[in-house]
Amino acid sequence: MARMPQFIKEYHIKLEKAAEQERQQEAKKHELLEEARDYFGYSIDPRDPRFEEMKLQKEEEEKKQKKKEKKEAKESRALRLARALSTPTKPPKRQE
């Protein structure tokens, strides 16, 4: 019973995280519906096969973009490392 306040606090944090995820999913869904409406020129049902196809296409584009960003970041790190290794450094002065 001594740990009950801690458990209650953890439970409330867990509920808040779940609610935040749900809000994010709803916002993403709403954004997709707005994009579909702009693309098609009229409101479209989310169960429509054309909407599903557009959704899959958008997800693929996002995956490609993330992969490209990750590759560029990796190349950038490698380039910085190569520069750091190729720069001549002076040996530390000996203290006598």
Taken as a whole, the chain contains a residue count of 96
Q: Where residue 1 falls among pLDDT bands split at 50, 70, 90? A: confident
Q: So what's the pLDDT on residue 88?
A: 66
Q: What whole-number distance in Å separates Cα of residue 64 and Cα of residue 69?
A: 9
Question: Cβ(33)–Cβ(26) under 8 Å?
Answer: no
Nearest to 52 by CA among 40, 41, 68, 67: 40
d(CA 84, CA 37): 50
Q: Where do the structural domains in the chain lie, given as residue ranges?
A: 19-81
pLDDT in tens, 27-62: 999 998 999 899 888 888 889 999 899 999 999 999
pTM confidence score: 0.57
The span from the CA of 39 to the CA of 47, in Å, is 16
